[in-house]
Amino acid sequence: MSGQGNPRVSVVTNETPGADAAAARLRQQFGDIAPEDADFVIALGGDGLMLQTLHRVMTSDVPVYGMNFGSVGFMMNDFSEQDIVQRLISAQRTKIYPLSMDVLDASGNRQKALAFNEVSLFRSTHQAAKIQISVDNEIRLDELICDGILLSTPAGSTAYNLSAHGPILPIEAPLLALTPLSPFRPRRWRGAILSNRAEVRFTLREAEKRPVSAVADNVEIQNVREVTVREDRSHGVTLLFDPGKSLEERVLSEQFKF
């Protein structure tokens, strides 16, 4: 920190008019600082902007304080410019870690990407996907016929995973949620809860006839043949929340909504 009570603060936005206007006022106070050079980053937008910002700062682990100017804002605080420095300093910190996705594509090339929410596989045509699932090199499901499947972190368990009727995971739980999308066979399989130390491998069957894409947050790779996913503890990021409104509390509260 550059000085007591005078932190270096970077402000990023989702480039909507309201967020940009608020950012201009905050930059008058803090200056125009790059996220990589800051003590704190203020992200004005929704969860999409938060994910982009986390990817940007993951190598420096600058803590990120989000304020909601988006449509959902599960990872964001309520917007207020009042006492902003004190709010940054007194905020509760939550450390989260991404999933590492290693993909073998149809050309035999390997590509990698990181995901703080989930890694998802989706069918690319009218044909359902056929996916073999292995956990720690042991085949657990020989063939899942489905629209797709996703592996979610605790932070991402309240996002797409929840919409797909997957389980909500406590934010500090050493777990991952494996959730199918519209499973056809086995029809009654609803997924699994795995250790965050597990390595999950998805092997595509009849891949040329049934093409599948793999997505890690906002990175999509098409025509995949094999996708291996594991937690990456070397790229942790820190989220900031107002006292009493931590991500852990939000995840807990979400389980009691109707």
**pLDDT at residue 4, as a whole number:** 53
**pLDDT at residue 1, as a whole number:** 55
On whether the CB atoms of residues 120 and 131 are closer than 8 A, the answer is: no
**DSSP 8-state symbol, 77:** B
Using the predicted structure, report yes or no on whether residue 103 has a pLDDT greater than 60: yes
Centroid of chain to Cα 105: 23
Residues 117 and 213 in one domain: yes
Residues 108 and 78 in one domain: no
Using the predicted structure, report yes or no on whether residue 57 has a pLDDT greater than 60: yes
**pLDDT at residue 184, as a whole number:** 94
Residue 159 in marked binding region: yes
Residues 184 and 123 in one domain: yes
Instruction: Give the DSSP H/E element, type plus range, for residue 147.
Output: none
Comparing CA positions, the residue from 15, 114, 9 lying closest to residue 58 is: 114
Is 1 domain-assigned?
no
Residues 204 and 107 in one domain: yes
- pLDDT band at residue 214 using 50, 70 and 90 as cut-offs: very high
Residue 147 in marked binding region: yes
Residues 105 and 210 in one domain: yes
Per residue in 105-147, pLDDT tens?
999 999 999 999 999 999 999 999 999 999 999 999 999 999 9
- pLDDT band at residue 257 using 50, 70 and 90 as cut-offs: confident
Residue 143 in marked binding region: no
Residues 118 and 226 in one domain: yes
**DSSP 8-state symbol, 180:** E
- Domain containing 87 equals 9-96+236-254
Phi, psi of 254 (to 5 degrees): -60, -25
Q: Which residues are catalytic?
A: 47
Using the predicted structure, report yes or no on whether residue 3 has a pLDDT greater than 60: no
Is 2 domain-assigned?
no
**pLDDT at residue 255, as a whole number:** 75
Residue 117 in marked binding region: yes
Residues 241 and 153 in one domain: no
Is 51 domain-assigned?
yes
Residue 24 in marked binding region: no
On whether the CB atoms of residues 233 and 58 are closer than 8 A, the answer is: no
Residues 69 and 140 in one domain: no
Cα–Cα distance, 140 to 151 (Å, whole number) = 15
Residues 189 and 220 in one domain: yes
Residues 115 and 215 in one domain: yes
Instruction: Give the DSSP H/E element, type plus range, for residue 148.
Output: strand 148-152
**pLDDT at residue 21, as a whole number:** 96
Residue 48 in marked binding region: yes
Instruction: Give the DSSP H/E element, type plus range, for residue 123.
Output: strand 118-123
* Domain containing residue 191: CATH number: 2.60.200.30
* Domain containing residue 31: CATH number: 3.40.50.10330
Cα–Cα distance, 127 to 246 (Å, whole number) = 42
- pLDDT band at residue 196 using 50, 70 and 90 as cut-offs: very high
Least confident of 11-25, 58-72, 110-124, 133-147: 58-72
Per residue in 243-252, pLDDT tens?
877 777 777 7
**pLDDT at residue 131, as a whole number:** 98
Residues 143 and 212 in one domain: yes
**pLDDT at residue 247, as a whole number:** 75
- The count of domains in the chain is 2
Instruction: Give the DSSP H/E element, type plus range, for residue 100.
Output: strand 99-105
